[in-house]
């Protein structure tokens, strides 16, 4: 097994864990955490490909990861702001109870 395979498998497992969490947990905040984990797994892939790719000096994967980190921060801020607003409105963060389109 080459090092790159190891990193890719790890990232795939991390992605799967994040996906499982996002699909099975009831709490909206934990779903967001699961999505963050999936994003992080993608970042690991990008960095690993940059490291073992043929042209590391082009910095492509590296830059992609940096931008991805920046976007993830924005995503978390907006997502959690939405969760807080929903909580104010519906008094719950349980996704199974948020089943009405009407306020």
Partner 1 sequence: MNVVFWIFAVITLGGALAAMMLRSLVHSALAVTLAFAGLALMFLELGAQFAGFAQILVYIGAVAILVVFAILLTRSSEETGSGVFSPTWLRGLVIAAAVFAVLGWSILNSASALPGATVTPQVDVKQIGDALMGPYVLPLEIVAVLLTSALIGAVIVAMHEKEGAE
Q: Which of residues 36-65 bind partner 1 (CB under 8 A)?
A: 36-37, 40, 43-44, 47-48, 50-54, 56-57, 59, 62-63, 65
Tell whether residue 95 is a contact of partner 1 (CB under 8 A): yes
**Tokens encoding 33:** 């955490």
Closest contact distance (angstroms) between CB of 102 and partner 1 is: 18
Tell whether residue 98 is a contact of partner 1 (CB under 8 A): no
Tell whether residue 29 is a contact of partner 1 (CB under 8 A): yes
**Tokens encoding 96:** 């199974």
Distance of alpha carbon 14 from its chain centroid, rounded?
10
Q: In Å, how far are 36, 44, 59, 80 from 96, measured between CA atoms? A: 21, 32, 43, 18
């Amino acid at each position: 097994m080459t090092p790159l395979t190891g990193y890719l498998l790890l990232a795939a497992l991390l992605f799967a864990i994040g996906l499982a969490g996002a699909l099975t947990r009831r709490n909206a905040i934990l779903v967001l955490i699961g999505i963050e984990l999936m994003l992080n797994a993608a970042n690991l892939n990008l960095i690993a490909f940059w490291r073992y790719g043929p042209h590391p000096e082009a910095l492509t994967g590296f830059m992609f990861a940096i931008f991805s980190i920046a976007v993830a921060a924005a995503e978390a801020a907006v997502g959690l702001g939405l969760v807080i607003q929903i909580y104010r409105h519906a008094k719950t963060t349980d996704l199974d109870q948020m089943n009405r389109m009407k306020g």
